[in-house]
């Protein structure tokens, strides 16, 4: 049996963490010494000249066996991380049996010995239940651990039946059951340690692969971000020396690019896996919008723009998808400012070039967030008779129809936004797009502060 324990301990030492190995080695040592004490071999070979200690050693060894078993259970099952309440129960058991040892200073040792027999059975049951509880979520990792303690429950039950209920069971049967259980326990615990190590190693390998995949994805995102920022710098340079359409492009890019930086910063700062997937989807949608916008504005000539403006390409667009994308694009920017951003879902479809519709909604929502120091920004579409209106509500200082006529001029901003980043071209861009497609732009003040900017859209059909 000792040789088997040595072989298992040797395998466990190379197969798992030293802390768990040390905890099990302590438990195995107390178990071996307890059996040697029961056989009389401990008094014969280990402390032959200490008869008083030999009579008291059963308390020390029993206490050590229970306490070390509880400590090994805590470490092996990682109860502090996975089952905090169970960890507290195991710690209470450890301190309880230690208190029993201390109590022998003032009380008789015989009742303590009898109580330790009952506690040994309770402890074995507790360790078994702990393994079963952990196996509900981590079966492959703890399966052998849970099985190993069933034998300890049987052996402890035999000892308890003899000492507490007076059932006639010979000491030879009792100690033989302990020897058999201890050998089986050692084999199963060794297998449990090896099995747990293999599961942890596989989990680490999966986590490493996931980290590598995320690092590769982040690298691609960083490259695309650098490319977009390079193009943004080009657009800014052209805006200072070329025509007003490039200035419009710079304005269109600024707010989505700011939202993109916030999303990437959230990903880099580290979130949960589900949150990282949501952020990655928002980043992909923002990239698509920006890349399409920059490609259109920087890769064709001014003459081609004018030709395209005179003959706009008409397509049927699901406006609900546009609203959702704009909401996801600007949600981080609004949250950073403390503004509540909300969009109303819609199943309507309109006949407009998708990019122009996206630019209209983006600029209006961007202005709503910019001119709202605190409060809410709400946007969506509403059908009125045969027309479909896009409404953007904000709780800023308010934009009257007169102020709208003034702010339609390029490079003019509201008085409350003098410190706001940007050139104030949002309404000017929206006005040019509205005129381009024969739409209508209007505004009205809201009771209690704020304003509603609306655009009349051509209705294709409702679903």
Instruction: Mark whether 191 and 247 lie in a shared domain.
Output: no
Q: Is residue 367's pLDDT more than 60?
A: yes
Instruction: Mark whether 433 and 375 lie in a shared domain.
Output: yes
CB-based contacts of 186, cutoff 8 Å, min separation 6: 1, 4, 5, 8, 28
The whole-number pLDDT of residue 394 equals: 92
Q: Provide the residue range defining the domain that includes 419.
A: 242-461
Residue 306 lies in a domain: yes
Q: Is residue 82's pLDDT more than 60?
A: yes
- Kindly report the three-state secondary structure assignment for every residue of 151-170: HHHHHHHHHHHHHHCCCCCC
Q: Is residue 102's pLDDT more than 80?
A: yes
The whole-number pLDDT of residue 390 equals: 95
Instruction: Mark whether 250 and 204 lie in a shared domain.
Output: no
CA distances from 308 to 296, 297, 438, 439 (A): 11, 12, 15, 17
Tell me the CATH number at 435. Answer: 3.30.565.10
Out of 153, 182, 208, pick the residue that ends a domain.
208
Instruction: Mark whether 161 and 277 lie in a shared domain.
Output: no
24 vs 357, more confident: 357
Q: Tell me if 97 sits within 8 A of 43, measured CB to CB.
A: no
Instruction: Mark whether 292 and 160 lie in a shared domain.
Output: no
Q: Please state, in angstroms and rounded to a whole number, the distance separating the CA atoms of residues 282 and 184.
A: 55
What secondary structure letter does DSSP report for 98? H
Average pLDDT across the chain, whole number: 77
Q: Please state, in angstroms and rounded to a whole number, the distance separating the CA atoms of residues 285 and 395.
A: 27
Residue 236 lies in a domain: no
pLDDT digit string, tens, across residues 10-20: 444 444 456 87
Out of 184, 208, 232, pick the residue that ends a domain.
208
The whole-number pLDDT of residue 13 equals: 42
Residue 220 lies in a domain: no
What is the mean predicted confidence (pLDDT) over 415-436? Answer: 64
Instruction: Mark whether 402 and 277 lie in a shared domain.
Output: yes
Q: Please state, in angstroms and rounded to a whole number, the distance separating the CA atoms of residues 120 and 109.
A: 16
Residue 229 lies in a domain: no
CA angle centred on 379, ends 373 and 385, rounded to 5°: 140
Residue 225 lies in a domain: no
Q: Is residue 393's pLDDT more than 70?
A: yes
Instruction: Mark whether 20 and 117 lie in a shared domain.
Output: yes
Rg (CA), the chain: 37
Q: Is residue 247's pLDDT more than 70?
A: no
Instruction: Mark whether 110 and 250 lie in a shared domain.
Output: no
Q: Given pLDDT bands bounded at 50, 70 and 90, which one contains residue 365?
A: very high
Out of 185, 208, 231, pick the residue that ends a domain.
208
What is the mean predicted confidence (pLDDT) over 135-153? Answer: 78
Which stretches of 371-422 are DSSP H helices? 401-407
The whole-number pLDDT of residue 93 equals: 93
pLDDT digit string, tens, across residues 305-346: 444 445 555 678 889 999 998 998 888 888 888 999 999 999
Instruction: Mark whether 204 and 250 lie in a shared domain.
Output: no
Q: Where is average pLDDT lowest: 15-24, 99-108, 124-133, 439-448?
A: 15-24
Instruction: Mark whether 273 and 382 lie in a shared domain.
Output: yes
Q: Tell me if 41 sits within 8 A of 107, measured CB to CB.
A: no
Residue 217 lies in a domain: no
Largest CA distance in the chain: 110
pLDDT digit string, tens, across residues 171-222: 677 667 777 776 777 677 667 667 767 777 777 777 788 878 888 888 888 8
Residue 222 lies in a domain: no
**Into how many domains does the chain fold?**
2
Contacts of 272-279 spanning 24+ positions with Cβ under 8 A: 276/214
The whole-number pLDDT of residue 278 equals: 63
Sign of the Cα pseudo-torsion (456, 458, 461, 463, in order): negative
Instruction: Mark whether 204 and 246 lie in a shared domain.
Output: no
Q: Please state, in angstroms and rounded to a whole number, the distance separating the CA atoms of residues 40 and 101.
A: 22
Q: Where is average pLDDT lowest: 82-91, 226-235, 268-277?
A: 268-277
What is the mean predicted confidence (pLDDT) over 156-165? Answer: 80
Residue 116 lies in a domain: yes
Instruction: Mark whether 296 and 200 lie in a shared domain.
Output: no
């Amino acid at each position: 049996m000792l040789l088997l324990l040595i072989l298992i301990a040797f395998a466990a030492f190379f197969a798992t963490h030293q802390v768990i190995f040390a905890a099990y080695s302590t438990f195995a040592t107390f178990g071996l010494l307890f059996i040697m004490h029961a056989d009389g071999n401990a008094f014969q070979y280990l402390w032959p000249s200490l008869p008083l200690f030999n009579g008291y050693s059963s308390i020390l060894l029993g206490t050590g066996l229970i306490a070390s078993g509880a400590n090994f259970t805590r470490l092996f099952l990682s109860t502090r991380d996975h089952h905090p309440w169970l960890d507290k129960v195991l710690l209470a058991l450890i301190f309880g049996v230690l208190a029993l040892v201390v109590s022998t200073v003032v009380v008789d040792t015989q009742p303590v010995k009898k109580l330790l027999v009952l506690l040994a059975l309770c402890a074995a049951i507790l360790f078994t239940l702990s393994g079963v509880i952990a196996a509900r979520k981590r079966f492959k990792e703890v399966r052998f651990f849970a099985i190993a303690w069933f034998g300890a429950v049987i052996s402890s039950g035999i000892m308890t039946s003899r000492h507490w209920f007076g059932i006639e069971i010979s000491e030879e049967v009792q100690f033989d059951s302990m020897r058999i259980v201890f050998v089986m326990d050692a084999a199963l615990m060794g297998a449990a340690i090896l099995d747990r190590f293999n599961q942890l190693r596989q989990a680490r390998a999966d986590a490493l692969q996931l980290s590598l995949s995320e690092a590769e994805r982040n690298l691609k995102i960083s490259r695309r971000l650098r490319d977009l920022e390079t193009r943004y710098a080009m657009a800014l340079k052209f805006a200072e020396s070329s025509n007003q359409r490039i200035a419009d492009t710079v304005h269109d890019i600024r707010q989505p690019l700011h939202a993109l930086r916030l999303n990437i910063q959230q990903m880099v700062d580290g979130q949960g896996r589900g949150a990282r997937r949501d952020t990655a989807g928002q980043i992909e949608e923002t990239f698509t919008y920006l890349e399409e916008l920059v490609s259109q504005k920087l890769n064709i000539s001014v003459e081609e723009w004018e030709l395209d403006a005179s003959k706009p390409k008409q397509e049927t667009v699901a406006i609900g998808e546009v609203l959702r994308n704009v909401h996801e694009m600007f949600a981080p920017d609004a949250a950073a400012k403390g503004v509540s951003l909300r969009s109303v879902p819609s199943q309507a479809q309109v006949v407009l070039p998708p990019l122009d519709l996206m630019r209209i909604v983006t600029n209006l929502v961007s202005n709503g967030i910019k001119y709202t120091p605190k409060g809410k920004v709400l946007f969506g579409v509403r059908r009125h008779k045969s027309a479909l209106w896009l409404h953007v509500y904000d709780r800023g200082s308010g934009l009257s129809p007169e102020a709208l006529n003034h702010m339609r001029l390029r490079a003019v901003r509201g008085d409350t936004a003098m410190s706001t980043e940007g050139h104030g071209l949002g309404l000017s861009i929206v006005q040019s797009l509205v005129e381009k497609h024969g739409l209508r732009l209007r505004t009205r003040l809201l009771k209690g502060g704020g304003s509603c900017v609306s655009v009349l859209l051509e209705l294709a059909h409702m679903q």
